[in-house]
Chains A and B, each alone.
Chain A
Amino acid sequence: MHKFFIRSFVSSLVLLFTFTVAAIAKDVKAAFVYIGPTGDHGWTYQHDVGRKAVEAAGFKTTYVEGVPESADAERVLRQLANSGHDVIFTTSFGYMNPTNKVAKEFPNVKFEHATGYKREHPNVSTYAARFYEGRTILGTIAGTMTKSNVIGYVASFPIPEVIRGINSFTLAAQKVNPNIKTKIVWAFTWYDPGKEAEAAKALIDQGADVIAQHTDSTAIVQMAEKAGVYAFGQASDMDKFAPKAVLTSVENNWGPYYVDRVKAVANGTWSQKDTWHGIGDGMVVISDLDSQMPADLRSKVKKLQADLASGKVHSFTGPIYDQKGNLMVAEGKTADDGMLAGMMTYVKGVEGDIPK
């Protein structure tokens, strides 16, 4: 009788302990703030895929979509911080100031801001992906596949992120085909199917037979499909929207990072970080390579992908010259992160000027 009591007492203690540990771990709630609808098949869609990975890891999540970068963002953030969320991911650049403002009021809530540079309080981290690594791959493919040697590029805003992408793309294309030129059209939008399609049309009319994009809708690949030229998917695998045109896509894969950070909050190991992950860490993913590409190109791309992942190849390896012929990166050197983060000059081979 006595033994029975002790045994059941101990076992219930153990049980209680496991339950509590499980409860603590699973009690963490994560919130996500999106700029667009979850069904945009681009930027927001991919963040939501990341959120679902957090759910799959056993955590509760909440999201608010279509939050404008106006005065409304701050209210949504405060409401999420106030309603028991432990970590909040704000997934658009324009949330930078509201994120830091609300973070100050809620020191116990962790904030993770995508693509920004302000970390004014210890509970704010920032994260971004080295998409330029993916663009090195796209440039290699574009330089090989082009016949007209004119490559079109629909760009969004003249910020370092976008300039870096154009440069990385152009450098890689030049490496396989020194005669190529990259023509840029600025759409001044991240998501506007109408404007993006028009920009793509303008580039095709100027003789571009491969179109790259740094905007989020599927309008460009669809326009390319219609015109019979090649294109690349952005943010998510866009092959199904333009099976003939899309050679591959650069996918934003936020899931592993999100799961990692939410787990860190659960374990109490979260600390402020500035994360910039690329192909090696799996934040940038290259979709299946289209069978229209010659087999040797495909194997070359696979190798390049592995080398970028291991660090054997860097997207910005010297010698790199700017449009005027000034040396930007010396032979044998690679551009450091500081230079990449503030990159505001085109490399040689890009046509036109950066809008001012």
Chain B
Amino acid sequence: MIKIVKRDQPSRAIFFFTPVLAIFLTLVAGSLIFFILGFKPFEALKFFFIVPIADKYGFSELLLKATPLCLIAIGLSFCFKSNNWNIGAEGQLTFGAIVSGGVALLFYEQEGFYILPIVILAGAIGGMLYASIPAILKTYFNTNEILVSLMLVYVSKLILDYLVVGPWSNPEGFNFPETRQFSDSAKLPLLFEGLRIHAGIFLALAAVVISWFVFYKTYLGFQMKVSGFSLKTAKYAGYKGKKMIILVFLISGACAGLAGVGEITGPIGQLHREISPDYGFTAIIVAFLGRLHPVGIIFASLVVAITYLGAETAQIFMQIPKYTGQVFQGMILFFLLASDYLLFFKFKFIGSKK
């Protein structure tokens, strides 16, 4: 007989095991879906997860795709660890891209080593400004940051729409909704000839290292952890909650803004209406799959990035609908949340004693 028993303490081993379990269950369920759709499951999985990264180019594309996801998820982990539910990273990314894109356009056809740092900084500031809105409203007006940050995503996209359709549209572009192409001096340098992977990956790696240091070596990290466990305890301990809330939002916004900079000054090279395929939302999955741990987030961003690439390859070579990629992302999150049940409960096998 099996009995479900509540654990006295969440298991630490299981804490890091469930993401792996979730990925495994996703693969099993994914195979089942492929089978039902009439595709050979193993072949489909091969085209989904192996073929896209089997060569140098594919692997560089994986890193390119994982970079914004990792960067945003690192930022989000600051918020999520301290019980601040910033789900508007997409908006912070967009606004960061708007500010940095505006600066890049200002330097159109100009040269100088100082341009790129200013463009990058502008993106981080843009993201911070935009994240400060839900943070300030939460701390001083008690609004719900989930709603505010989410709604601001749509506002930011409308601002971007307005700018690329109107005042910032390319004067030689027949009024199509896009800006000019940025000059090379405002673009992130490519790391290898012929590959699209750019210097933005160093920003992501720096964020990983810094976040690890902050989380585990600083007083702020400790405050965040305590606030995450219990807001009341944090208050009793006398932490200045408001300052911390605003700080984590600013960090999170800066990371999202930098992710936006990486996209527009990296592979895109201009502003238009679709600068991000919802990286800001997908990064939420990445943050949780990575257990809000810097190293975990690196792996999680690679896993989620490959679902994008795999979906394309699977459609090109096997005619599997491309939207399966999104199904995979959804399943990963679903199985992760479901297997988190194991964190708090365990199965006990009991012999049939009378």
A residues apposed to B, CB below 8 Å = 31, 37, 62-72, 74-76, 78-80, 83, 93-94, 97, 117, 157-160, 188, 341-342, 344, 355-356
Given contacts A157-B175, A158-B165, A159-B174, 8 further A-B contacts (CB under 8 A): A64-B315, A66-B323, A70-B274, A70-B277, A83-B316, A83-B317, A97-B270, A355-B166
Q: Does B177 have its Cβ within 8 Å of any Cβ on chain A?
A: yes
Across the interface, do A355 and B322 meet the contact criterion of CB distance under 8 Å? no
Q: Does B321 have its Cβ within 8 Å of any Cβ on chain A?
A: yes
Going nearest first, the 6 A-B pairs with the smallest beta carbon separation are: A71-B267, A69-B274, A68-B277, A159-B175, A70-B274, A64-B315
Give 8 pairs: A residue, B residue, CB < 8 Å, sorted on A. Answer: A37-B323, A64-B312, A65-B322, A69-B272, A75-B61, A78-B57, A97-B269, A159-B176
Tell me the smallest distance from the CB of B46 to a CB of chain A, in Å: 15
Bound complex: CA A117 to CA B321 (Å):
30
**B269 CB contacts on chain A under 8 angstroms:** 97
Across the interface, do B313 and A79 meet the contact criterion of CB distance under 8 Å? yes
- A64-B315, A97-B181, A355-B165 as given contacts; A74 in contact with B274, CB under 8 Å: no
Across the interface, do B277 and A72 meet the contact criterion of CB distance under 8 Å? yes
**A67 CB contacts on chain B under 8 angstroms:** 312, 322
Size band of the interface chain B makes with A: 35 or more
- A344-B175, A356-B166 as given contacts; A62 in contact with B275, CB under 8 Å: no
Q: Which of A62, A75, A83, A117 sits near B174, CB closer than 8 Å?
A: A117
Q: Which of A64, A66, A341, A342 sits near B316, CB closer than 8 Å?
A: A64
**B315 CB contacts on chain A under 8 angstroms:** 63-65
Chain B 261-308 interface residues, beta-carbon cutoff 8 Å to A: 263, 266-270, 272-277, 308
Across the interface, do B312 and A75 meet the contact criterion of CB distance under 8 Å? yes
Across the interface, do A69 and B175 meet the contact criterion of CB distance under 8 Å? no
Bound complex: CA A159 to CA B165 (Å):
9
Across the interface, do A70 and B174 meet the contact criterion of CB distance under 8 Å? no
**A65 CB contacts on chain B under 8 angstroms:** 315, 321-323
Q: Does B64 have its Cβ within 8 Å of any Cβ on chain A?
A: yes
Closest to B262 in A: A71
B residues apposed to A, CB below 8 Å = 57, 61, 64, 161, 165-167, 174-178, 181, 196, 263, 266-270, 272-277, 308-309, 312-313, 315-317, 319, 321-323
Across the interface, do B274 and A94 meet the contact criterion of CB distance under 8 Å? yes
Across the interface, do B165 and A74 meet the contact criterion of CB distance under 8 Å? no
Number of A-B contacts (CB under 8 A): 82
Across the interface, do B176 and A74 meet the contact criterion of CB distance under 8 Å? no
Closest to A356 in B: B166
Bound complex: CA A75 to CA B58 (Å):
9
Bound complex: CA A19 to CA B268 (Å):
45
**A76 CB contacts on chain B under 8 angstroms:** 312, 316
**B167 CB contacts on chain A under 8 angstroms:** 356
Tell me the smallest distance from the CB of A340 to a CB of chain B, in Å: 12
Closest to A101 in B: B269
Across the interface, do B323 and A70 meet the contact criterion of CB distance under 8 Å? no
Q: Which of A74, A94, A160, A188 sits near B161, CB closer than 8 Å?
A: A188
- A76-B312, A79-B313 as given contacts; A70 in contact with B263, CB under 8 Å: yes
Bound complex: CA A159 to CA B176 (Å):
6
**A188 CB contacts on chain B under 8 angstroms:** 161, 165
Tell me the smallest distance from the CB of A317 to a CB of chain B, in Å: 24
Across the interface, do A94 and B317 meet the contact criterion of CB distance under 8 Å? no
Tell me the smallest distance from the CB of A63 to a CB of chain B, in Å: 8
Closest to A116 in B: B176
**B270 CB contacts on chain A under 8 angstroms:** 97
Bound complex: CA A188 to CA B161 (Å):
8
Q: Which of B174, B178, B322 sits near A64, CB closer than 8 Å?
A: B322
Tell me the smallest distance from the CB of A158 to a CB of chain B, in Å: 6
Closest to A341 in B: B174
**B57 CB contacts on chain A under 8 angstroms:** 78
Bound complex: CA A157 to CA B161 (Å):
10
Across the interface, do A68 and B61 meet the contact criterion of CB distance under 8 Å? no
Closest to B264 in A: A71
**B277 CB contacts on chain A under 8 angstroms:** 68, 70, 72
Tell me the smallest distance from the CB of B87 to a CB of chain A, in Å: 20
Bound complex: CA A75 to CA B174 (Å):
26
Closest to B274 in A: A69
**B309 CB contacts on chain A under 8 angstroms:** 75
Q: Which of B175, B263, B312, B321 sits near A158, CB closer than 8 Å?
A: B175
Q: Which of B177, B178, B196, B276 sits near A70, CB closer than 8 Å?
A: B276
Closest to B181 in A: A97
Closest to A163 in B: B175
Q: Which of B175, B263, B312, B323 sits near A71, CB closer than 8 Å?
A: B263
